[in-house]
Structure formats: C-alpha cells, structure tokens
Amino acid sequence: MNQKIEHLLAKVQKPGRYVGGELNAVIKHKDHIDVRFAFCFPDVYEVGMSHLGMKILYSLLNEQSDIWCERVFAPWIDMEEEMRRHDIPLFALESGDSVADFDFIGFTLQYELSYTNVLNMLKLAGIPIKTVDRKELFQIVVAGGPCTCNPEPLADFVDLFFIGEGEQVDLEVIRLYQACKKEGKSKAEFLKAAAQIPGVYVPSLYTVVYHEDGTIKEMTPHQGAPEKVIKRIELDMDKAYYPDRFVVPNIEIVHDRAVAEVQRGCIRGCRFCQAGYIYRPVREKSIDMINHQCRSICENTGYDEISLSSLSTSDYSQIEGLLETLLDWTDDEKVSVSLPSLRVDGFSNELMDKLKTVRRSGLTFAPEAGTQRLRNVINKNVTDEELMQTVRTAFEGGWTTVKLYFMIGLPTETLDDVAGIAHLGQQVVEEYYRNPNRSKGRTVKVTCSASSFVPKPFTPFQWEPQDSIETLHKKQKHLIASVHSKKLTCNWHDANTSFLEGVFARGDRKLCKVLEAALECGCKFDGWSECFSLPRWIEVFKQCEIDPLFYNQRRRAYDEILPWDHLDYGIKKSFLIEECEKAYENDTTPNCQEACSFCGATCFKGGICVEKR
C-alpha cells in the first residue's frame, strides 16, 4: 500500500474501501506484464465489488500471464476531497499505481446515473476526458455493460465500446492493441482496426447529422467501420468462462456471497424490461456445471451462502433438480442457497420446502402493475389468482413478510391502475387472515414498493414518453390515498432521479457536452440521494441549451432514426413495433418457452431458439 494514500485514510470513512489486500486479489510483477488493464466500476467499492460481470472479467484477464487486470472504484466524496487536497491521483487497488499508468481504462456501465462518475474518475486520474485529447496509443478508454446498448451520451469520452457479452471480445481487443504497439501503429490505426472486430463500436468512426428539430437525420460510418455493430454473445454457457474464485472483500459489501450464474437471458419478454431483450436468447447452464462452479467458489472463498443468479431464476427449467443437487452437499457444509429473483408463478410448495432449509428472510415478488389490464400491457403474465396462490403457499409455510415490487408511470396507466397496487396489497393482507393455521401473535407485513418507469432502448416502449415529475407525484399521492390498512405499507422511488435516468437512457451525442458541463458543476454519484440535485442538473441543461424533455418526455415516431439504431442486439425493430401495438391492445405475447414470437434472436443460432421446447 502506498504511504501517501495511507496518510489520508485516517480522515475518511470506511478506509477499507481503498486498500485492497483481499483474499484472492491478484498481485503480479509489473516487469513481467505487457498490458495493464484498470477495471473501473463507477461507484463505491461496496457496490462495485458486488457486481458479477467484474468478477468474471477480472479473473478471465488475470489468467493471461502477460495481462494484469486491477480494480478501481470511485472514491466516496470524503476520500475524493482528501485526494484532491494532497494531489493524489485515482489509483488501482492491487498495485496502488495511478490509473494514468494503465494501457486500458475499462468502465462497466450498469446504470445511467453513474455517467458523471465515469468522467469524474478520468479527471481524478489526470487523464484527458475526451477521446480527441488522448492522442497516444495508451490510456485506451473502453466500456461495456448493459448501458452500452445506447452509448451515445458517452461517445466523446470513450474510445471504444464492447457491444454485448465481453468474455471474448475484451481479449481480442487487447491482443490487437499489443500487435499495434509492436508495429508502432498510432491510436487512430488501432481504433480503425478494432472497429473490424465483431462487437466493437468505435464512436469516433461515425458522424451524426441532425434534423432541425434535433432528431437524427443520418449516421454515417467511416474508414470501413460497420453500418451495424452486432452484439457478441456466449452461445454455450457450459463452455463460457467462469471464475473458480472471487476476490473476498474485507469489509461488508452489498451482495457478500458466492454467486452462481444459472442462465443468461430471460424467456419472459416483459415489455418494460431492457435486460429481457438485450440478453436474448435464454441460455441455460447445466446442473453439473453450476454445481461444480458453486463448489469451487465456496471452497476458494469460504462463503457460506450461494445466490443462484439470473434475470429470473425460478424460470430455470430444472430448478428443483438443481436445488436437490446443491442441497446434497450444502447442508453438510453449512452453506445456504438463496434465489434472488422469484416469479409470482414460479413459487411452488416443493421450491418453498427446499428454500426453507435456508435462513428465512422476507419474500419478494414483482407483479409490476396493480391491475390485470396493465399487466397485460406490459406482458407481465401473472394473474391476481397466481399471486394469491403464491402468497397462500408462503403464508402456509410460515412467512409473514411479503414485499411486492411495482412500477408507476407505465404506458396507458390510469389512476385506477395505480389504486390497483394498493388493492392488490390489501388482498395479500386479507389472504393472510384466511389462513386458519397462521401463527397467532405474529402479524403480516406487506410492503408495496413503486419505482418510476423509465422507457429504455431496445424495448417495445422505446418510443414512449416518460411521465412528468408532476404526474408521477400525483400518482404517488393517489397510491398512498388508496391504502387503508396498517399492515400495508407503500413507498416509492424518487421521481427526480428517474427523470435524469430517462434523459440519458435514450440520449444522443448532444448530451456529451451536458455531461462535461455537469462534471464542471460537481455532479457525481447521481444515484445517491445525498449527492443528487435535480435543480443543479436543470441549471446544467439550461447552460448547454439542451431541453431534457426532448429526450424523456417526447413521443417518438416509429420511423424516427434512434441514436442506437446502428447497434444490433438481434431484436428486429419490426418486432418491437408489433409488441408496442399489442401493448396498446392489452394483448399478451407468449414466453420463449411456450412459443417463438420471432423477435429476431434466432440469428445467433443458439440457446432456446434452437433447443426443443
């Protein structure tokens, strides 16, 4: 650990965030390394260390003897202040070296509200934030993760984006970099060559022309860059790289446990859910592979809890067989198994019995909308009856705390739909009292949590306007007015942060200058209520003469060129339009397990698209 850094630690909260030294952290000798990769998570340590993608790529890169991948997190505001005061640049945890010393500075973009942190981290590292100002073949800034499906707001800052899954393309780009270095090529030559690798998007090789109204007129690739960048994807999850160990944090993090990825993608096709579209098709891992990976991670970390992770784990086709296989050894070794995402219609008696051996906490389900009509609109194909059946099972099994997730601000939503959230919650409370065997002396607690819907690219709602803050507030008030029981609590997320998320989710390159100005105004950690200020952001938009409502509250026409139209996630636009029209008709679409709806993902020739249903 660097002496200079250590001197700051006495003055900051949670100094353990900044020191490294964890079990399984990878330390290499600088002299034996050809490429140094700084894997940056634009949030604090506890959040970033919980992220599975980082664990996968960290181990994958460090398995290469000539590459050293280190971790970098955003310092919290107290530490940033100390670092600035003492002129200490952003550093990587393993070596303590400045991020400016690295060949690659890679960011993972998990949520739009972390964009200011990306810029702030570059600034703290002393690296020019704009692509054009970094002229050497060095300090290549790259980014991946779900938000890269619309990377345009960051187009001026990031040299190249990884579109889709990173397991293979990351290494291909690094190898190309090494070759270019050896041949003495320039950064421009490297980027031009990189754009030829499938799944690589180099924004500087595209020019955008706008109509007078601010919409896109055309987007033109140069220097042989592809018209469409097609996402990369792992087709055989049993062959995809998975680490056999995680770095074990010394301080408590948000998700402090072993994680097994049971499948990628989701069969459901909920129309609001970006992940449900951009990760298509569903690809399952075999029970044997999951079991093997769980065992090695537990053995190499000492974790006593495994989370079976995916977008919808109860949809894993052999979930009961998997739990049985795991419980075979986890019980004896005092390891517990948890499922983070349960579906209302996926909670059976058998599943509950297996989960009961696990430490009992509350159960969480996501009906997403309060009425059947609106659930049809969003294609969340669960019924009131299924929810009641599920909570009945849970209450009979002794659970007394149920949390229900909803969204407000969904397309076509009326105040009746909003009141439906409270009514549904009330029905769950009443279901509890219908159980004759309920434990006397204990009471039921139902929480309905409502987040604000943000329309996202590559979903059927990508053309929809987002509700205004005023409308969201009105709906929130209506929700609370519809609650008539003390057993039922309703709460919601801040509408102001959703407003900003909505701007950047469907933003274009004109927002680059907004981000730059926001950085100057001190915007950072926008996902944290103690740092976020909407008035400050509104001031920034004004200063840049950009109307945020153009991005989040405007209805787009189907034939408008969208900022992300040159990226191809396999989903056809015509399919999204069909889905949008069906939503207006309150019409549902079967899930991928039931029938193929011809979204376009068959083009990848893998997963559920080619398997027998």
- Of 300 and 389, the one with the shorter C-beta distance to other proteins is 300
β-partners of residue 491 are 449
CB of 298 to other proteins, least distance (A): 8
Contact 180, 247 (CB under 8 A): no
Helices 384-396 and 415-434: angle between axes, nearest 10 degrees = 30
Rounded to an integer, what distance in angstroms lies between the CA atom of residue 177 and that of residue 186? 10
As given in the structure block, the two tokens for residue 423 are 């009514």
Span 528-547, contacts to other proteins by CB under 8 A: none
Considering only residues 2, 15, 573, 588, which one is a binding residue for other proteins as defined by CB under 8 A? Answer: 15
Annotate each residue in 239-278 with x if it binds other proteins (CB under 8 A) or - if it does not, as one string.
---------x-xxx---x----------------------
Q: The tokens of 343 are what?
A: 């579906």
* Binding region for other proteins (CB under 8 A) out of 152-160, 198-206, 295-303, 397-405: 295-303
Q: Which stretch binds other proteins (CB under 8 A): 12-20, 152-160, 348-356, 430-438?
A: 12-20
The angle, 0 to 180 degrees and rounded to 10, between the axes of the packed helices 534-543 and 512-520 is 120
Among the listed residues 7, 86, 477, 605, the single contact to other proteins using CB under 8 A: 7
Cβ distance to other proteins smaller for residue 23 or 481: 23
**Cα end-to-end span (Å), the chain:** 54
The rounded distance, in Å, linking the Cα atoms of 293 and 263 is 13
Structure-token pair, residue 586: 């309150």
List the one residue out of 165, 402, 197, 368 whose CA is nearest residue 271.
368
Q: 252 or 350, CB closer to other proteins?
A: 252
How far apart are the C-alpha atoms of 140 and 125, rounded to whole Å?
A: 13
- Asked whether position 26 contacts other proteins by CB under 8 A, the answer is no
Rule CB under 8 A: is residue 16 a binding residue for other proteins? yes
CB of 1: closest distance to other proteins in angstroms? 6
Token representation of residue 435: 């159980």
Q: Which is nearer to other proteins, 18 or 458 (CB)?
A: 18
Of 358 and 448, CB closest to other proteins:
358
Q: How far is the CB of 336 from other proteins (least distance, A)?
A: 10
**Residue 251 or 351: which CB sits closer to other proteins?**
251
Q: Which CB atom, from 26 or from 388, has the smaller least distance to other proteins?
A: 26
DSSP per residue, 103-120 = SEEEEE---GGGHHHHHH
CA 417, chain centre distance (Å): 27
Query: Residue 97 interacts with other proteins (CB under 8 A)?
Result: no
In the bound complex, what is the minimum distance in angstroms from residue 335's beta carbon to other proteins? 8
Q: Which of 161, 242, 303, 541 binds other proteins (CB under 8 A)?
A: 303
Provide the minimum distance between the beta carbon of 4 and other proteins in the complex, in angstroms, as a whole number. Answer: 11
Contact predicate 445/503, CB 8 Å? no
Tell me if 1 contacts other proteins by CB under 8 A: yes
Q: Which of 126, 214, 224, 302 binds other proteins (CB under 8 A)?
A: 302
Q: How far is the CB of 24 from other proteins (least distance, A)?
A: 9
Determine if 304 is a binding residue for other proteins (CB under 8 A).
yes
Q: How far apart are CB 27 and other proteins at their closest, in Å?
A: 9
Binding residue (CB under 8 A) for other proteins from 22, 167, 560, 611: 22
Determine how many CB atoms are found less than 10 A away from the CB of residue 318: 14
Q: Does 89 bind other proteins (CB under 8 A)?
A: no
d(CA 264, CA 237): 8
Q: Cα Rg for the chain, rounded, in angstroms?
A: 24
Q: How far is the CB of 251 from other proteins (least distance, A)?
A: 5
Q: Is 359 in the site for other proteins (CB under 8 A)?
A: yes
Q: Which amino acid is at 4?
A: K
Which residue stretch of 196-204, 299-307, 440-448, 486-494 sits at the interface with other proteins (rule: CB under 8 A)?
299-307
Our CB check for other proteins shows the closer of 59 and 390 to be: 59
Residue 184 burial by Cβ neighbours in a 10 Å radius (0-12, 13-18, 19+):
exposed
HEC sequence for 363-418: EEEEEECCCHHHHHHCCCCCCHHHHHHHHHHHHHCCCCEEEEEEEECCCCCCHHHH
Which residue among 2, 9, 291, 469 contacts other proteins (CB under 8 A)? 9
Name every residue whose Cβ is closer than 8 Å to that of residue 156 and which is 6 or more positions away in sequence: 130, 131, 132, 203, 509, 512, 513, 516
Here the tokens at position 255 are: 């998700």
300 binds other proteins (CB under 8 A): yes
Token pair 């093997």 is at which residue?
292
Q: Count the neighbouring beta carbons within 10 Å of the beta carbon of residue 419.
A: 18
Comparing CB distances to other proteins, the nearer of 19 and 538 is: 19
Give the Cα separation of 453 and 444 in Å (integer): 28
Least distance to other proteins, CB of residue 250, Å: 5
Contacts with other proteins, 202-241, as mask; x by CB under 8 A: ----------------------------------------
Considering only residues 2, 215, 296, 301, which one is a binding residue for other proteins as defined by CB under 8 A? 301
Binding window for other proteins (CB under 8 A); candidates: 102-110, 149-157, 293-301, 506-514? 293-301
Kindly tell me which of 20 and 409 has the beta carbon lying closer to other proteins: 20
User: What does residue 278 show for φ and ψ, rounded to 5 degrees?
Assistant: -75, -15
> To the nearest whole angstrom, how small is the minimum distance from the Cβ of residue 80 to other proteins?
18
Distance of CA 207 to the CA centre of its chain: 28
Residue 594 burial (10 A CB sphere; 0-12, 13-18, 19+):
exposed
Binding residues for other proteins (CB under 8 A) = 1, 7, 9-10, 15-16, 18-23, 248, 250-252, 256, 299-304, 334, 359
